Structure 1
Amino acid sequence: MVTTPSQQPSGRIQSLDGLRGVAALVVLLHHWLLIAEPLLEGTVSWAVISQSPVKLLTAGNEAVLVFFVLSGLVVVLPVFKENFSWMGFLSARVVRLYGPVIASLALSAILILLAPRDPSRMPPGSWMAETHADSVSAGSFLAQASLVPRQYPLNNPLWSLHWELLYSIVLPLATALALLVRRHALAAVIVCCALSVVGRLFEQSELLYFPVFVIGTIMAARMPDLLAWVERPRPRWFMPLFTLVSVLMLIGSWLARPIFPSGTDLNHLLWAFAAPGAAGIVLVALAWGPAIRLFETRPIQWLGKISFSLYLVHVPVLATLAFAFGSEAWGLVGLLGIPLSLLVAWGFYEAVEARMHKAARRVHRAVAARARRRAGEVAP
């Protein structure tokens, strides 16, 4: 019997919401591990955590690639509905992105002011010492709130929202491209993967990340075909094998580090294969019964519901605790910070994100209605 993903009346695919929630949790664990890295690196524990399949639980950068594929897929799906309005869509997208981002930066600024940070308490050269702000100015706040810079000392994860914003700007062009190549989708996805590999090898972020979004957009353009593929009977071994290959591609650069150390060209090449691995994981969430059932469970669906909020608030929470207790207390930081991040994310969702969703829907309706009226006025 084939298990197919459930869809909400709005058209949202529940298993993909669940996958987003798991990816957000993985990013949370990844950043906690970065706090512990200076004290664990070189130990047997570190080797087990970072160079074995356990790495899947803390593969934060790879989880962001999953987010990018999901964004390219889920954000574009409404484009193919009747009466779609680009003006309404893009206006609502601005509200959905900037409202929570600005609120998360305000939270971070408040925490920095309430709990002053002493960089000397962090190991030199560590993630905590090098990438976290210890003070707040109006200029830095406004610059980071714009999502224009590539570095975000007030709230590190916002670097990925910079790319989300840029892709939103080129989304009409990317959608047109996806429709143009939809009959040759597999070849187009292979080209995207190749471009992402080139971007990784030559450290060109645009080439690395944009093709990952485009993969998701091509999947959106072929969604009816993908859902039909999901329902086809397949050998029992196919999806477990497909899942294993996708996971190995996603974290292969970590598993291979004993042979190809970090920083080598071969390790970069293996990391570049995380892009097709991320796309494969998204397909697993659509097509493999055990994964669908896992992602549609209530706890995972709850994680999916608060995933964006969790992504935005967890680093300010973890960083505040790390500066308060010191990085040597990384265990205590995790014991307190992980559940506290989930709790704060829940409150942030209710107080900020859910309200921004409502505001975005109102903006969408108003802008779309005005665009239709203007179109009617200029029509011959």
Structure 2
Amino acid sequence: MTRGFSIYLDALRFLAALVVFASHMGYDRFTNGSMAWIRTLNLGSDAVVVFFVLSGFVIAFTTFARDRGPAAYAEARIARLYSVIIPALIFTFALDTLGTLTVPGAYQGWWYNGEDRIAQLLQGLTFTTQMWTDNTRVGSNGPFWSVAYEAWYYAGFGVAVFCKGRTRILLLALMALVVGPRVLLLGPCWLLGVGLQQLVARGHAASLSRTTGWLLAIAPWAIYAFALALHMPQRLTWYTYKLLGEQITPNALFGFSDEFVWNFGIAVLMALHFLGVYRLAREADWLGARAETAIRWCAGATFSLYLFHYPILTFLHGLPAYDSAKPLHAALMAAVTLVACFLLAEVSERRLGFWKRLVHGVFERLKPSPPTASGSGSLLSQRERG
């Protein structure tokens, strides 16, 4: 991966996290309808699809380029997930507890799940909040749903790469039976990122002309904007509803995967966009070291921004002095939330090295101990005596 493309991916994933954040700010209870347009366009959901494509590309790149074995792959993925998930679960439940005690009115709605926290915690830690028809909300942390998707994509990719023959087929089939249709429906979006990485690795992106690179980089955004203007997400969801026989809505059946046709279309557009950008973004000599440092630093808090912001917004909007109709209040709430997320990143994903060492230590302890020389000799003596 070239320096320029790597920087671009970092910038894009941070911007995608900001779009998700802004999308949630668009709820009436936070901004009194002043940002309703972003809810109407449903840009937050589209940004999650961008994450999936980007994730598939990056995971495939790090796996194939570094020639990792299954143990190293599992350690890296587990450390990456739990470095943020465990702090996010602790923080969510702690802030929700404080909030329900001090500003209970802020938690009286669909956006908060106050039932059986032990069950929520276990499901969160095992990525089972979105199995089949289940849709478990982890306290006030709405964005947590996508983690359950991402973790299973990691696991499925690991099985597909490191297992062979019948074992691979059986394990993938078993995983599909466990997770159910919701997670599987968005799987192709993640796999498009993997396919893109393979195209790049084989030199197809580098062989494109500069004109083609510009066309691929720009045209997908124009097509996306045109599709939004034609209300394609709503149209495709309506067609899905008709195909289901009008007995049940796509959301009731598929949860966060209810727009899977539209989501796959976005994934295709993003894969084409990435292909064009890869051709154009060589070494990015035009970008200075300071700008690169700033982009990398912001990108290093992306996962934290994504998983911490919603509980903070929920708590802050319940404070007695907060008035959602006042733009200054909304701006202050947004600023405080962003600062808090960056601070929380310092004790979560920016401590990835600590989590890698911790997970590696666990894996080392789980390894079977090789037979000692004395043990082998003792066994041989017993056989000889027998």
TM > 0.5 fold call: yes
Q: 1: CA distance between counterparts of 2:157 and 2:236?
A: 34
1:64 deviates by 0.9
1:332 deviates by 4.9
- Cα deviation per residue 1:58-94 (whole Å; 9 max; x = unaligned)? 7111111111111111112232246622112212311
Q: Is the 8 A contact 2:21 2:44 kept in 1?
A: yes
Contact persistence 1:35–1:330 (CA under 8 A):
no
- Out of 21, 36, 40, the position equivalent to 1:28 is 21
Find out whether 1:307 has 2:287 as its counterpart.
no
Asked if the contact 1:6–1:13 (Cα under 8 Å) also holds between the matched residues in 2, the reply is yes
Give yes or no for the alignment of 1:168 onto 2:148: no
Describe the shift of the 1:284–1:46 C-alpha distance in structure 2 as closer, same or farther (beyond 3 A): farther
Q: C-alpha deviations, 1:96-135, integer Å up to 9, x for none? A: 212311211111112122222767668xxxxx82132357
CA distance in 1, matches of 2:308, 2:198: 33
Aligned partner of 2:270 in structure 1 is 278
1:215 to 192, 198, 212: 192
Label 1:350 to 1:136 Cα distance change in 2 as closer, same or farther (>3 A).
Answer: farther
Of residues 286, 297, 315, the one that matches 1:320 is: 315
Question: CA offsets per residue over residues 227-278 of structure 1, 9 Å max, x none?
Answer: x62475422xx44443343224545553223996684228955554112123
Shift of 1:289: 4.7
Q: Confirm whether residue 91 of structure 1 aligns to residue 75 of structure 2.
A: yes
Match for residue 3 of structure 2? 6
Paired amino acid for 1:300: I
Structure 2 unaligned residues grouped into runs of 5+: 131-135, 164-179, 242-258, 374-386
User: Does structure 1 residue 146 correspond to structure 2 residue 129?
Assistant: no
Q: Distance in 1 between matches of 2:325 and 2:125?
A: 31
Q: Residues 147 and 337 (structure 1 numbering): CA distance in 2 closer, same or farther, change over 3 Å?
A: farther
| Residue of structure 2 in register with 1:234 after alignment | 210
C-alpha distance in structure 2 between counterparts of 1:328 and 1:303, whole Å: 28
| CA pair 282-345 structure 1, distance change in 2 beyond 3 A | farther
* Mapped contact 1:31–1:315 kept (Cα < 8 A): yes
Distance 2:214 2:118 in 1: 51
In 1: Cα distance, 2:29 partner to 2:125 partner = 29
**Do 1:39 and 1:328's aligned partners in 2 also have CA atoms closer than 8 Å?**
yes
8 Å contact kept, 2:189–2:267: yes
- Give the residue type in structure 1 aligned to 2:295: I
Structure 1 residue 344: Cα displacement: 1.9
Worse-matched range after superposition: 320-329 or 23-32:
320-329
Deviation at 1:148, TM superposition (A): 0.9
CA distance in 2, matches of 1:259, 1:163: 21
Find the aligned partners of 1:147 and 1:253 in 2 and give their Cα distance. Answer: 33
The letter for the 2-side match of 1:229 is A
Q: How does 1:240-279 map to 2 (within 5 A)?
A: 240-250=214-224, 254-257=228-231, 263-265=237-239, 269-270=261-262, 272-279=264-271
Distance 1:90 1:242, change over 3 A: same
Percentage identity across aligned positions?
Answer: 22
Say whether residues 1:132 and 2:124 are aligned partners: no
Instruction: Determine if contact 2:196/2:271 at 8 Å carries over to the other structure.
Output: no
CA distance in 2, matches of 1:23, 1:259: 19
Cα separation, 2, equivalents of 1:348 and 1:50: 26
TM-score, length-scaled by structure 1: 0.70
RMSD of Structure 2 on Structure 1 (CA): 4.1
Task: Tell me how many residue pairs correspond in the alignment.
Answer: 326
> What's 1:183 paired with?
none
Q: Give the secondary structure class of the aligned counterpart of 1:264.
A: helix
Matches within 5 A, 1:112-123: 112-116=96-100
Amino acid paired to 1:69: V
Contact 1:248 1:277 in 2 (8 A): no
Give the alignment's TM-score, normalised by structure 2.
Answer: 0.69
Q: Are 2:332 and 1:339 equivalent residues in the alignment?
A: no
CA distance in 2, matches of 1:259, 1:17: 27
1:71 to 55, 58, 64: 55
Q: CA deviation at 1:362?
A: 6.1
Kept in 2, the 8 Å contact 1:66–1:281? The answer is no
Question: Looking at CA atoms only, which structure, 1 or 2, has the larger radius of gyration?
Answer: 2
